[in-house]
Every structure is written in structure tokens, then in C-alpha cells.
Amino acid sequence: MSDTLQLERWGGGLLGKGPLVLVVMDGVGLGRQDEGDAVYRAYTPTLDRLMQNGWIQLKAHGTAVGMPTDDDMGNSEVGHNALGAGRVFAQGARLVEEAIKEGTLFEGETWQTLIAHCKETGGALHLMGLLSDGNVHSHDSHLHALLRRAAKEGVERAFVHMLTDGRDVSDDSALIYVERLEEVLKEVSTEGRDYRIASGGGRMVITMDRYNADWEMVEKGWKTHVKGEGRYFSSAQEAIETLREETGANDQHLPPFVIGENDKPVGPVQDGDGVIFFNFRGDRAIEITRAFEEEDFSYFERDPKPNVLFAGMMQYDGDLQLPKHFLVDPPAIQNTLSEYLVHQDVRQFAISETQKYGHVTYFWNGNRSGKFDESLETYVEVPSDRGGFDERPWMKAAEITDRTIEALRSNRYDFLRLNYPNGDMVGHTGSIPAAILAVETTDLCLQRLLDVVEEMGGIALITADHGNADDMIQTNKSGAFLKDAQGKYRPKTSHSLNPVPFAVYDPKGQVPHVFRNLEEPGLSSVAATVMSLLGFVPPEAYDPSLLRLEGMDDNKGT
């Protein structure tokens, strides 16, 4: 057992008295309390009571979660990294931006190997990923930089396989990013070089599935990007405009398309080619990576897999070594809250449904697959529904609550964490009525849970990882709502920059406390709060606890 992971006890705390529960209400932020704020408009008696009894707000975006600037929204991945790690690490967006700016990406072994491979074989370089500047999964400026450098280094052919966003950015903004990309492609398509868009489709339809929820999405992406199979169009603009008109779909749900010429796809992936998946975030990149890299692969027929050199913008799973080759090192997150707690023999329980299961496990544990200690940790995944979440805004909140209540009453666990995905997943659909129901569902389930926390003599911490359902109508720079040509409000499907609530439910006064007067508290202070409530002195490296506890020396790590 590592001495460096041993914690000092402060003499008080909840351990041995009752369970400590952390509830993450995904996508439930503190908005402007207006027509576009589904959290404010929802009937939430449980949250209202909690906030009447004292609460604070936490910063959940920008530099507080390791993003490059405070103009960058938070997301569930960086939010859970911060919650579980207890301090802020530079995240993928910042790391890639710095690697491109400083030139280290292009000086690295993977980039040099890819370029040499394509030049030696005469193969094309394919760049796949999400085309937007949302900076959650990717940024189009990163793609532009890769294309310009490839041309400078003598790659003759390059093809972009783009996923339209409409989720981290406006739901009808795809053509803005296509226009930017086409300008770059025109710029570098000189001296005989052939650089162009080869295929595309909506991010929620093809390629970017996560947590093994829908492998058919990945298969559609494989057929579209790799095989060049699908409906042909002469350009990405033509494809997007036509498919919007025919289907009424917004950008994230656009059907797949292939750019064709002379009845052939312009850029299928072939033997000898190089492939870069240019998303920096891992959850929606792992499955397509597996399709390219795994020899023993059974999710769909690859027919056959082309012999290519594949690389990710980052390594998406360090434990599984996926992918083997990557352009930028991911953040090295060690000594997380759960790792510390297993060294104190604290029994832990983590649960969510499929859509957020990886967040309370993989991302919570610092981008680490698996458990720290099988004997002390239990992870539960409730299978998510397939289909539109606006059609079932209750999602699996009731089932998550049922299983957590069962775990609480078992007396087997000291610390339990759960994620209710409703506010985020339904918020992304842009449907305010559905988002209101999603928040109300979360509130109803929260009350059921808190009743059992009280029954078991425990304490609950209630917060969120970022905002979403709190900001669902697009606004201009002055904050006024935007409307479409028909006079309807333009839905906003991306995350917000709003803070999130943090409340403590301690009905029996188990651990007397007050909120600390921190200048700008963020999600990363939740881990030290958990430690101190359980009876441990947080390590000095952790960001300070949000609470000052009666009987605890305030100089000891809080």
C-alpha cells in the first residue's frame, strides 16, 4: 500500500455513522431565470427547499475546469475530471492548442511517422472528426493547422471526413464551418495537391457513439468515411442544404453523405493511407478507434479493414492504449479522490445510465478504465434508452434512484456517487418542454433519494457538472433572444457558461459545517469536501474544501 496515498484523520467526520452521497445533476445550471431557462421554469420543490437552507454556486466552465479561456464552456468530461481529481488539470483543448502553437505536435514522432508513411506509400492523409469551434470535442482551427502543415511537408492528397455539430454550437451553423474549411482547402490545393472534403454526417447519427450505446452509428460512419458508401453529392454544402430541406434535421442529426465524382467516392480510405481522428476528447472517439485498430473485432463487418496508419489527436484511453499512436499527450491525472479513498478502505458505489456511466467511473478516476480496488468499489451501469431523449425525458432516473436506494439500505457503502443525465441529454435536444420535464424528473428522484439518506443517517451533496438546460434559447451579444424567419425562438443545444449549485443535505446535523468564503469556488473543491466530511484531512495539493467543519483544524488541508 502506497504511503503517499495515506490520509490523516481529523477525529470527526461521517465515516462509520452513515453514508455520504454525491448527486451530480448533469446539465442543471443557474441561469437567467427567463423563458429560456428550463431549470427555473421547472417545478422543483426539492431543489427549492435545499437552496432555501443554504447553498453556494460553483464555477463549472473555462479555466476552472482546465479549458483554455473563460469563453470556453464546460462539459461533462472535464467537469467529472475536476470533481474526481480535486484540482484542475489542463484539458485536451488547451493541450492541443499549445502543442500546435509551440510546434511540438509537428515535431513529435507520430506526426513525423504519419507524414513519412503517406509520402512513402503515396497514400492519402484522412482527417476525421467533429467540424466546429465548440472546443468540447474538437476545434476547427486544429484541423486547419494539420491541413496546412501536411501540405507544407509534401503530402499530395488529403481528405476530410467531417461530422456536423449542432450540439456544442448553434444547431444550424454547419455551413459556417464548411465555408472556413473550404477556404483552407483551396489555399493548400496548389502545386498539384488534392485536398478536399470526402464525406460527412451528423454527430448523433454516425461515427461518434460512446459507451457502446449504439454501434450501428459507428458502422454507418465506417461505411461512409472508410468505404465511401452512401448518397453522393458534389459538395458538402450541397449535401447539407439538401438533407436539411428533405429531412428537417438539425446539424447533429443530418444523415450521412459522400462526396462523389464520376460515380465514385472522391476519398475512400485505402491500403497505405494515413488516418487522424482529430477530436481531442475521448468518449466519442474510442469506438471508431477500436474499429481501426482492433484485429479481433466483432461489432460489424469491416469488409475488410484497410491497412492504414491510424492516430488520434490524443490517446483516448491510457489503460487500453487506444489508440497506439497519438499526436498530443493527454493530461496525466493521478491521485484522484477514489484512489485515495480505497487506500483508507472506504467502500464506494458509482452509478449512472449508459450515457453518463463513463463519467462517474472513467472520467471521475482521471481518465482511467477499471477500478482501483475490486473489493471496495461497485460500479453500476443502467442501460440507456435508444432514440430521442426529448421523447423520453425521464430517461433512467427512476432506475438509477432505485439502485442507489438499494445500495444505501444495504449498508455496504460509505461513499456513493451518481449522475442524473436528464438535464444535459434532454437539454441538447433543444426542446424546452422536454427539458422542463427532465429537470422535474431529476427533482422528483432527488427527493426519493434524500428521504433514504435521512433514513440511513447520512449526508448528501448536490451539485452539477456544467449548465445546459438553464440556457436553451440563442441570444445575441446584448442578451436578447434570437428568432428564426417564422418568428420562433432559435433553440440553443449547447452547454451554458453558467455556474452550478452546490448544496448540502445534513438533516440530522451529523457534521456541523458552514460554507467557506472562497473567492471563486469551482468543481475541483468538491473532492476535498468529500474527504473532510468522511473524516480525512485532504492532501495539500487538493483545492480547498467548500466547507469549514466544526472541530477540524482549518489549517489542515481545508
User: Domain spans of the chain?
Assistant: 26-89+333-549, 93-328
Residues with a known catalytic role: 76
- Terminal-to-terminal C-alpha distance of the chain: 25
- The CATH number of the structural domain formed by 93-328 is 3.40.1450.10
Q: Which amino acid is at 123?
A: G
How would you write the pLDDT of the chain (558 residues) with one tens digit per residue? 456 899 999 999 999 999 999 999 999 999 999 999 999 999 999 999 999 989 999 999 999 999 888 988 999 999 999 999 999 998 889 999 999 999 999 999 999 999 999 999 999 999 999 999 999 999 999 999 999 999 999 999 999 999 999 999 999 999 999 999 999 999 999 999 999 999 999 999 999 998 888 999 999 999 999 999 999 999 999 999 999 999 999 999 999 999 999 999 999 999 999 999 999 998 899 999 999 999 999 999 998 899 999 999 999 887 778 999 999 998 889 999 999 999 999 999 999 999 999 999 999 999 888 999 999 999 999 999 988 899 999 999 999 999 999 999 999 999 999 999 999 999 999 999 999 999 999 999 999 999 999 999 999 999 999 999 999 999 998 899 999 888 999 999 889 999 999 999 999 999 999 999 999 999 999 999 999 999 999 999 999 999 999 989 765 544
**Which residues partner with 462 through β-bridges?**
23, 503
Residue carrying the nine cell digits 432559435: 490
Q: How far apart are CA 505 and CA 462, in angstroms?
A: 8
pTM of this prediction exceeds 0.85: no
Task: DSSP letter for 357, please.
Answer: H
Do residues 397 and 420 lie in contact, with contact meaning Cβ atoms separated by under 8 Å? yes
Please give the class, per CATH, of domain 26-89+333-549.
alpha beta
**Residue 79: in which H helix or E strand, if any?**
helix 76-85
Q: What is the CA radius of gyration of the chain?
A: 24
Residue carrying the nine cell digits 485532504: 538
Kindly tell me the sign of the dihedral angle through the C-alpha atoms of 289, 292, 298, 300.
Answer: positive
**Which residues partner with 309 through β-bridges?**
274
**Which residues partner with 353 through β-bridges?**
382
How many distinct helices (H) and strands (E) make up the chain? 17, 18
Q: Do domains 26-89+333-549 and 93-328 have the same CATH topology?
A: no
Residues with Cβ within 8 Å of residue 168, at least 6 apart in sequence:
73, 75, 130, 132, 134, 135, 136, 137, 494, 495
| Residue 395 backbone class (left: φ over 0; alpha: ψ -120 to 50; beta: rest) | left
Q: How far apart are CA 501 and CA 488, in angstroms?
A: 30
- The helix-helix angle for 174-188 and 236-247 (nearest 10°) equals 160
